[in-house]
Amino acid sequence: MFNSIKSALIISSLTLAITACGGGGGGSKATSNENQTPVVFDYQALIDQTISDVIPGIVLLVETPERKFLGSSGLADIDSHLPMQVDHIMPNGSAGKKATALLTVILAEEGLLSLDDLISNWLPEQLLSQIPFSEQMTIRQLLNHSAGVYDYLDDDTIADFFAAIQADPESLKTDAFALQFALNQPAYFEPGEGWEYSNTGYLLVGLVLDEILGEHHSIAMRNRVFDPLAMHSTHFGGVEKEQGDIISGYYHDIDGDFTGEAGKVINTKSWYENIGVADAPMVASVEDMALLLRSIVSDDSNISQDIRTIMMAEDNLQYIDGEESYALGLFKTSIAGNVVYEHGGLEAGYSTFNLYIPAINTSITAFANCGGSDPCEEQFDDLIKQVLIEELL
């Protein structure tokens, strides 16, 4: 959820900084005497220092072939003073788009659909008539954000979406609920004529999958993605909430847009316990999120080569700026000569960063239980930048 291109922008800004430092390659930092033991960066100290009045809790995973850091700091819940633990789970926002894209490709390989199917083959005219150019949109275009469909979390409608959630936090909200905020809105462009990140595209894919499967696609997600990959700490948000309790998430309402009270802090846990949408389907731990991305990208994977090739195929890439592109549910870019795949997630109260560097087989995944406000994003971004610099210098 939210327009989650921010992590890609962080990575782009780092390329110049790392290059200026002469960076390249990962691993521990060696001392000037090559016979001495390499100095390993103290990530625990870093996350301890990042905890603040804005960021209550952090979980960080940095895993390379030589070493693994998995640590947590701060609080999972402010009121109860529950300490953050490394196995805690939270909504992962748009970082879960890769799971929706992966499931769709798996179903395509099974012959249940084609990525080039028009969504008009599956969805009712009553719905399509409220979405400009919907008769031209393909599943592939929705997955790589080239369909031009209006984003329900655009500036003009995001406040309405969250007002509706606050008015009724207890009822389950799936794709049809979120989609209503994108209906009868203008398109960004005709399908295939540009690139614009749109959460709505994934809502429409979710509805197509439901129609094809004859049941909610969370069941197929469980049977074809989560269980086969041994993602035992993961469930589909809202729909499978009995599978595990999420930590609290904190949104700092700086301007009073949500509450009418500037500076108020909201615990959004009750909202996200009942949201399950295809543009942000996952509730997971950092290790499961890292496992999913690594499984999609790495050759050492339980996912077939054919499926992984389709996910990142050249004909699916939409180039955004320079070397940065978007495949199916994944950003692809370069940092200091290293190709990286990533997709972050941003919710009101939750932030996820999820990246994999194939050349050095390195995973970096981080959670913070704040999100959606500038102070949270700035502090979380600083943490991510420091981790990336340490691994790539």
For the residues of 351-377, what is the DSSP string, one character each? EEEEEEEGGGTEEEEEEESB-SSHHHH
Kindly state whether residue 108 falls inside one of the protein's structural domains: yes
Kindly state whether residue 190 falls inside one of the protein's structural domains: yes
pLDDT at 287 over 70: yes
Q: What is the CATH number of the domain that holds 334?
A: 3.40.710.10
Contact 71, 387 (CB under 8 A): no
pLDDT band with cut points at 50, 70 and 90 for residue 32 = very low
Q: What is d(CA 91, CA 176) in angstroms, rounded to the nearest whole number?
A: 19
Q: Average pLDDT of 274-288?
A: 98
The predicted structure's pLDDT at residue 5: 55
Closest CA to 142 of 92, 188, 91, 95: 188
The predicted structure's pLDDT at residue 393: 77
Q: 378: how many CB neighbours lie within 10 A of its CB?
A: 10
Mean of the per-residue pLDDT values of the chain: 91
Closest CA to 372 of 93, 75, 80, 149: 93
The predicted structure's pLDDT at residue 259: 73
Distance of CA 66 to the CA centre of its chain: 26
27-45: burial string, b at 16+ Cβ within 10 Å, e else: beeeeeeeeeeeeebebee
Q: Into how many domains does the chain fold? A: 1
Q: Give the pTM.
A: 0.93
Q: Average pLDDT of 22-46?
A: 60
Kindly state whether residue 1 falls inside one of the protein's structural domains: no
Report pLDDT digits (tens) over 342-386.
999 999 999 999 999 999 999 999 999 999 999 999 999 999 999
Domain residues for the domain of 65 are 6-392
Kindly state whether residue 285 falls inside one of the protein's structural domains: yes
Kindly state whether residue 254 falls inside one of the protein's structural domains: yes
The predicted structure's pLDDT at residue 45: 98
Q: What is d(CA 72, CA 62) in angstroms, rounded to the nearest whole number?
A: 12
Return the axis-axis angle of helices 6-20 and 374-392, rounded to nearest 10°: 40
pLDDT band with cut points at 50, 70 and 90 for residue 114 = very high
**Of residues 344 and 260, more confidently modeled:** 344
Kindly state whether residue 137 falls inside one of the protein's structural domains: yes
Report pLDDT digits (tens) over 120-175.
999 999 999 999 999 999 999 999 999 999 999 999 999 999 999 999 999 999 99
State whether residue 132 is helix, strand or coil: coil
pLDDT band with cut points at 50, 70 and 90 for residue 247 = very high
